[in-house]
Amino acid sequence: MHIKIDGADATLDGKQTVLQMLNANGCSIEVPNVCYHPGLGPIETCDTCLVSVNGELNRYSCT
């Protein structure tokens, strides 16, 4: 999947979330996350990892 993050092109392999991709690549963009743990999957309760997708806030960073 091809995405744009702050105007820069990025590619997800289909197995990782946006949050995982940002954390793995040492990206300068920090997305706060409190309840995320790779062993648990998306919990979607803390709302700190909200990202803007096509102008709408979504929990897609962790899911």
The pLDDT value recorded for residue 43 is: 74
Residue for token pair 């949050």: 19
- The residues with which 58 forms a beta bridge, in sequence order, are 51
Write the CB contacts of 10 (distance below 8 Å, at least 6 apart in sequence).
Answer: 2, 3, 4, 21
CB neighbours of residue 12 within 10 Å: 13
Query: How far is 11 from 49, CA to CA, in rounded Å?
Result: 19
The pLDDT value recorded for residue 26 is: 67
Q: 23-38 pLDDT, tens per residue?
A: 776 677 777 777 777 7
Q: Which residues of the chain have pLDDT under 50?
A: none
The pLDDT value recorded for residue 25 is: 66
Write the CB contacts of 41 (distance below 8 Å, at least 6 apart in sequence).
Answer: none
Beta strand 2-5 with 51-53 is unpaired
The pLDDT value recorded for residue 60 is: 66
